[in-house]
Chain A
């Protein structure tokens, strides 16, 4: 089944926020932001800018009618700065003008004078100074302190991972138009329409029912538009409220990269204890999360880090502490994996370090400690599947049958200038929002009298194919052809109080709501059909391939006619349904519970070739065995695995955020200086095998979430490079500081010489 949106995409006919035809009185907004990473506004004079031709209004904090507050979990972020400035890119004023060029030119004409205060950009320094976004949290199990003396090998050290720019191809943007009676309709490029609605209502001092938020589709998001699409949408709405005219605000690339938050950099201390035969006995880790200047989603992200501190392994004694540190960078935010990649990277660093210390292959440690069904995670939930070991075995089977180890050994012994390295990367990722209350979704389904179907849910299509899956769920539930189904835009007037499309769970939850809604309509239709066809009461009536069946026998009645007749008979052809993921609970004081409805597991085997002379590498192959449950759509799921993998590879090898050492200004602030993977970086071979399996608690129709887990397969590339470096010279001490850029590789190779 093809991606339903792709038919429009290939013709250039799909509409993104900046593509809509808007009324001629449209105003374009541009934003003045803080030029300093920490300071005070000493003077803010807008007169000269306001006097420029085409400029309609300049909005500052004092113009806000409601609360100047856009924070989500913790209310600690202003829409527009009042006195103190906390990061470069923090919005200060919004200019409304009749063209984007005039608006941006007027921004430059605003007189903003600031004084500077000392700033902090490193999380450990922030921690030292007591600058925290929230109190630290610790997950523990067993007793690590009492275990160390039973370990034969203990390794400790530090592991760092860098931030990552989302680089969704469509930049942040929104437009808002005035409706009657003071209502405002916002079209936003957001993953969370309800959040935009809630914050707009708060800032504009309107009830939520006067704010309508509509989302057609996003040109990529990856978490970057979960919370951080909100300010631009709210500014547009505020502009509408203050001028009575439509307002559009679309960031250009430079603005987007410079002003918005990224994946959190982490700096972590670890200590791992093992027995001589490679059993992991104890694991202690402290994560210093670089949260940026406001909390955004940092605390939730840190929580997911803690939930994944042991990844796919069973460790009996664990103490994992997470600290969200407040720094003077743009507030860091959700990004595919949501804190789990950082956790997994630290543990793999420790395992790799132990393997070197013990003189054994990392595979030996990894395999020995993989989770078995019933093993308990540090947060008290037992592992309910067996897919981790199954995926590992399947991946290892290929590795062995292709004699990969021997082939690489031969290559390395006969090549001086090039060396190959290989790694295994098992991934175990929990599915559900860790905030239990967010695990709910709703759907509104209409069957029209011509037999066509319209579906609204809270899911936002951002390329991940959720609308395609939802259409498939509806077609399958009804027993009708897919062409009849249209998935509508995501709109707060049709789907209220929805969770953002995030946590990989949109298809699971919204799909289930659609299944329930379609099921209710179907039940009414079948009851009517049975009666209409004169079937005896209690007959089994079904709809299969658009035909009504009675006791398994085809009748003359088909979908179209059935709908027409049902309407005339006054059968309700619409349904709204709600789905709440069952069986979830978590106690934050004991840090124990069952926060996930299931886990997604898989294993990636990565092979790279290192060019020793130049200090560069290429990825020969990544072979993945991935658990997708009973996939609804293999093409879509495969695309998620491949796309997630390459983003993960980008994170650990290529994508490096660089800041000015004195001003803290972002230096890698464009596509010319911040490089993301291109077609040539793609591994020579990407082989994705799906582990077809049945799980009791999986998502809709026993499929499984697929958005985030594959990202973490990319981590394997880091350790494959370390392996190749080891082959060059076992005396070179590995470094655990992602990304492993070409620069780091060459400097590392040179260390011993």
Chain B
């Protein structure tokens, strides 16, 4: 039995672990305020809150219930729109949406309220821009978002600065309850969770077992098949999501989510990487999608993989108690083919911390800027000394069957002075070593052209004083 708290009460389900939470809510629990819009995590109409008990306090995150397997609910607090409704009337957050006219057909509205609620639960210091950013994973076809953006701004003002030091603390919950953004029962949930017997046995792994990390890609693609498959959930394995820095080496557990990386600040002095993470999927997906999943999924355009290729990262792979390391750039053998045997598990990713002489930049162009898969993405890291490139690591996605380390381009730049000519050499070389294909994200011609532009953009962004940007257009 999978047991958890659903809104204000304990709930147990006999659904298979691989059933998705959206179906549990709508079909089993009869809570229809959570809506099915796309079943692949691309619209946010099914957004719910997932509360994970910490040593102290609860960490709440917005997630897409359509790609969340019910196994992940065990021992946690699941909150739907019905669970944030005040007994009567509307919460101030709900009232703002009504007042601004930010709900027309209303189908997406519960998801928007849940995303905004998650934003307020996840910060003690809300601001207008970030409140609007928290809605990047919620699609509305009616309003044009103007009224929704306004609502987000008003909402952050209503919540105001929380006296709590930490957003997972009880004090912060008390603040939001006092503001009537959350109903009072939230204050009793931590006790309820601790009283539950949420211990679980390690799953038996067979040859047919599918390993699930965040599941954001697996369940978007094949939720129906996974419903009745043996699954192993890495999120239930402890010690896989840590992010640590040891002797200039950054070690990121394969189970760390994109959100974990953002929150850890590990990218904060790494060029535009921190900002670029906002271009990875949506807030809901970032709360679930893991580093390991992004790499093992082997998508030729995985944003994180492209970044780690430029960081010249190594992977640590476990096989029972044995461990080995492999260069990330050697890990991909062909389309969706990996240097990973059955029984092996990606444990963590390691790279050398950037020093002050290393410059890094990430570029991504997609059909839509946010919540979209890149047409082409690229990352570049340059170690520079006295105006010369000592070492270059450039990667590119969307231009080959694998996430590509641009071997020749990176090598060609070694020892070169940073000049416009060098940038042009990089552009030419990069274009010559890729062979994109026509697909729904763009023609081969476009992707090749675009890659050159993104390589040029690395130079424009990193060395504006040393090159003539106009010549790179």
A residues with CB within 8 A of B: 2-3, 5-16, 18-19, 21, 101, 166-170, 217-222, 252-253, 416-417, 462-465, 612-616, 635-636, 638-639, 642-647, 654, 656, 658, 667-668, 670-673, 675-682, 686, 728, 741-743, 746-747, 749-750
Q: What residues on A are CB-neighbors of B145 within 8 Å? A: 642, 646, 677-679, 682
B32 CB contact (under 8 Å) in A2, A19, A101, A252: A19
Tell me whether B141 and A647 are in contact (CB under 8 A): yes
Q: Mark interface residues in B432-473 (1 if CB within 8 Å of A CB, else 0).
A: 000000011111011001100110110010000000011011
Q: What residues on B are CB-neighbors of A673 within 8 Å? A: 440-441
Interface of A, secondary structure class, is loop
Tell me whether B105 and A639 are in contact (CB under 8 A): no
B142 CB contact (under 8 Å) in A614, A639, A743: A639
Tell me whether B143 and A743 are in contact (CB under 8 A): no
Inter-chain pairs besides A218-B105, A678-B370, 6 sampled, C-beta below 8 Å: A168-B105, A417-B470, A464-B104, A465-B104, A615-B365, A678-B145
How far is B106's CA from A168's CA once the two chains are assembled, in angstroms?
11
Tell me whether A639 and B101 are in contact (CB under 8 A): yes
Decide if B98 is an interface residue (CB 8 Å cutoff): yes
Tell me whether B107 and A642 are in contact (CB under 8 A): no
Q: What residues on B are CB-neighbors of A614 within 8 Å? A: 363, 365, 450, 453-454, 457
Tell me whether A642 and B85 are in contact (CB under 8 A): no
Q: Please, how many residues of chain B have a CB less than 8 angstroms from a CB on the other chain?
A: 80
Tell me whether A463 and B446 are in contact (CB under 8 A): no
Tell me whether B43 and A671 are in contact (CB under 8 A): yes
Tell me whether A12 and B80 are in contact (CB under 8 A): yes
How far is B93's CA from A146's CA once the two chains are assembled, in angstroms?
64
Write the nearest CB–CB distance from B46 to chain A, whole angstroms: 11
Write the nearest CB–CB distance from B80 to chain A, whole angstroms: 7
Tell me whether A253 and B147 are in contact (CB under 8 A): no
Tell me whether B144 and A615 are in contact (CB under 8 A): no
A613 CB contact (under 8 Å) in B95, B368, B439, B456: B456
How far is B189's CA from A508's CA once the two chains are assembled, in angstroms?
51
Tell me whether B101 and A679 are in contact (CB under 8 A): no
B residues with CB within 8 A of A: 26, 30, 32-40, 42-43, 45, 80-82, 85, 90, 94-95, 97-99, 101, 103-110, 113, 132, 135-136, 138-149, 220, 224, 363, 365-373, 375, 439-443, 445-446, 449-450, 453-454, 456-457, 460, 469-470, 472-473
Q: What residues on B are CB-neighbors of A616 within 8 Å? A: 365, 369
Tell me whether B142 and A672 are in contact (CB under 8 A): no
B101 CB contact (under 8 Å) in A636, A671, A682: A636
Tell me whether A15 and B375 are in contact (CB under 8 A): no
Kindly name the residue among A167, A170, A462 whose own CB sees the greatest number of chain B CB atoms within 10 A: A170
Tell me whether B139 and A678 are in contact (CB under 8 A): yes
Tell me whether B98 and A2 are in contact (CB under 8 A): yes
Tell me whether B363 and A169 are in contact (CB under 8 A): no
Tell me whether A746 and B450 are in contact (CB under 8 A): yes
Tell me whether A12 and B369 are in contact (CB under 8 A): no
Q: What residues on A are CB-neighbors of B141 within 8 Å? A: 166-169, 220, 222, 643, 647, 676
How far is B289's CA from A750's CA once the two chains are assembled, in angstroms?
36
Q: What residues on A are CB-neighbors of B472 within 8 Å? A: 613
Tell me whether A12 and B34 are in contact (CB under 8 A): yes
Write the nearest CB–CB distance from A714 to chain B, whole angstroms: 10
How far is B453's CA from A746's CA once the two chains are assembled, in angstroms?
9
How far is B450's CA from A749's CA once the two chains are assembled, in angstroms?
12
Q: What residues on B are CB-neighbors of A101 within 8 Å? A: 224
How far is B446's CA from A399's CA once the two chains are assembled, in angstroms?
36
How far is B43's CA from A219's CA once the two chains are assembled, in angstroms?
14
Tell me whether A170 and B136 are in contact (CB under 8 A): no
Q: What residues on A are CB-neighbors of B105 within 8 Å? A: 168-170, 217-221, 462-463
Which residue from chain B places its CB closest to the CB of A21 in the assembled complex? B30
Q: Given A169-B43, A219-B107, A642-B146, are A613 and B453 neighbors across the interface (CB < 8 Å)?
A: yes
Tell me whether B109 and A10 are in contact (CB under 8 A): yes
A742 CB contact (under 8 Å) in B43, B375, B457: B375
Tell me whether A253 and B109 are in contact (CB under 8 A): no
Tell me whether A675 and B367 are in contact (CB under 8 A): yes
Tell me whether B149 and A253 are in contact (CB under 8 A): no
Q: What residues on B are CB-neighbors of A462 within 8 Å? A: 105
Kindly name the residue among B32, B148, B449, B469 whose own CB sees the greatest number of chain A CB atoms within 10 A: B32
Write the nearest CB–CB distance from B159 to chain A, whole angstroms: 17
B98 CB contact (under 8 Å) in A3, A615, A743, A746: A3
Can you give 21 contacting A-B residue pairs, CB < 8 Å? A3-B104, A10-B103, A10-B110, A12-B34, A18-B32, A101-B224, A169-B107, A169-B139, A169-B141, A220-B141, A416-B473, A615-B450, A639-B143, A642-B143, A646-B144, A654-B368, A671-B40, A671-B42, A678-B145, A679-B148, A747-B445
Tell me whether B104 and A639 are in contact (CB under 8 A): yes
Which residue from chain A places its CB closest to the CB of B81 in the assembled complex? A12
Tell me whether B90 and A7 are in contact (CB under 8 A): yes
Q: What residues on B are CB-neighbors of A463 within 8 Å? A: 104-106, 142
Tell me whether B139 and A676 are in contact (CB under 8 A): yes
Q: What residues on A are CB-neighbors of B366 within 8 Å? A: 742
Q: What residues on B are CB-neighbors of A749 within 8 Å? A: 473
How far is B371's CA from A673's CA once the two chains are assembled, in angstroms?
11
B38 CB contact (under 8 Å) in A220, A656, A670: A670
Tell me whether A642 and B144 are in contact (CB under 8 A): yes
Q: What residues on A are CB-neighbors of B147 within 8 Å? A: 638-639, 642
Q: What residues on A are CB-neighbors of B97 within 8 Å? A: 6, 9-10
Q: What residues on B are CB-neighbors of A644 within 8 Å? A: 144
How far is B104's CA from A221's CA once the two chains are assembled, in angstroms?
11
Q: Which 10 A-B pairs have the closest CB atoms?
A: A12-B33, A463-B105, A9-B106, A219-B107, A12-B81, A463-B104, A646-B144, A671-B42, A642-B144, A10-B94
Q: What residues on B are CB-neighbors of A14 within 8 Å? A: 106
Tell me whether B143 and A741 are in contact (CB under 8 A): no
Q: What residues on A are CB-neighbors of B224 within 8 Å? A: 101
Write the nearest CB–CB distance from B427 to chain A, whole angstroms: 11
Tell me whether A743 and B101 are in contact (CB under 8 A): no
Kindly name the residue among A16, A675, A741 whose own CB sees the greatest number of chain B CB atoms within 10 A: A675
Q: What residues on A are CB-neighbors of B443 within 8 Å? A: 743
